[in-house]
């Protein structure tokens, strides 16, 4: 039995390991290290499928393993991050303004839980639902139907990174608004499971004619990242959606 059959699955397991470590850091509010391991996990996620194709060792086991790894790195982690962010703003004095059953923070043996923050975990549920649909959808070979979980994770992960590194009071005031976070959570859940067709960054060849939309997206993304740094990530996701809607070929 050739060892090359196990190489892509080993890379997938590295993705799963990175996601598990990211969960630990996210729970302890260390979002910088969370981001590092998520980025590393997404890197492995990109290359496991590529290796499987190059080595011609695609398997059903690899497909299922890939989804399980994505569920951790790109499903559980963003849900925890959003839960933590909503918990953070819910701990502020204006939390008392919330009506009825949402106007208190529960305490259990020293653990504080803001019920509204549980909405953040809807991202994890929506990610799991999307991954399950993707596994049984044979149409999504050259395009994605709905926002891929890694892209959605980068969107959610960008929020604490913008707060940490951009040092903009205006942007922070937007991000640290509980209704903005709740609204973004529901938008995220919708985008994950929408029927919007989004082009995949898979190159059958490297000609500009066949991949013009991909090259345009990559170039504009690099420019945005250089100019705006982490604040560029939400704009890149928006750009991805807009270019996909304008693109007639997937």
Q: Which of 184, 181, 188 is nearest to 146 (CA)?
A: 188
- pLDDT of 2: 66
Number of H helices, E strands in the chain: 10, 4
* For the ranges 6-15, 140-149, 221-230, the one whose mean pLDDT is highest: 221-230
- Tell me the pTM: 0.87
Q: Alpha-carbon distance 59 to 195, whole Å?
A: 27
Give the SS3 label for residue 30: coil
Q: pLDDT digits over 42-80, tens only? A: 999 988 777 777 777 777 787 889 999 999 999 999 999
Assigned CATH for 3-84+101-246: 1.20.120
- The dihedrals phi and psi of 137, each to the nearest 5 degrees, come to -100, 115
- In order of 126, 153, 171, 174, the CA distances from 34 in angstroms are 21, 11, 21, 22
Q: pLDDT digits over 108-120, tens only? A: 556 667 789 999 9
Where do the structural domains in the chain lie, given as residue ranges?
3-84+101-246
Q: pLDDT digits over 82-118, tens only? A: 999 999 888 654 434 444 444 355 555 566 677 899 9
Give the SS3 label for residue 195: coil
């Amino acid at each position: 039995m050739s060892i090359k059959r196990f190489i892509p699955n080993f890379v997938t397991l590295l993705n799963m390991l990175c996601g598990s470590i990211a969960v630990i850091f996210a729970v302890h509010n260390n979002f910088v290290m969370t981001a590092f391991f998520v980025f590393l996990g997404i890197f492995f996620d990109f290359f496991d499928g590529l290796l499987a194709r190059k080595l011609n060792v695609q398997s059903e086991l690899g497909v299922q393993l890939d989804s399980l790894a994505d569920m951790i790195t790109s499903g559980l982690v963003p849900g925890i991050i959003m839960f933590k962010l909503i918990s953070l703003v819910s701990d502020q004095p204006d939390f008392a303004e919330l009506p009825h059953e949402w106007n208190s923070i529960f305490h259990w043996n020293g653990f504080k839980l803001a019920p509204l923050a549980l909405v953040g975990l809807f991202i994890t549920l929506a990610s799991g639902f999307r991954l399950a649909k993707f596994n049984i959808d044979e149409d999504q070979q050259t395009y994605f139907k709905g926002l891929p979980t890694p892209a959605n994770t980068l969107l959610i992960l960008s929020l604490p990174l913008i707060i940490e590194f951009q040092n903009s009071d205006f942007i922070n005031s937007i991000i640290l608004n509980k209704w903005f976070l709740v609204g973004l959570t529901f938008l995220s859940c919708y985008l994950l499971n929408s029927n919007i067709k989004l082009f995949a960054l898979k190159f059958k060849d490297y000609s500009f004619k066949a991949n013009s939309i991909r090259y345009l997206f990559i170039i504009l993304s690099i420019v945005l990242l250089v100019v705006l740094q982490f604040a560029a990530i939400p704009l890149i996701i928006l750009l991805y959606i807009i270019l996909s809607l304008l693109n007639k070929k997937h």
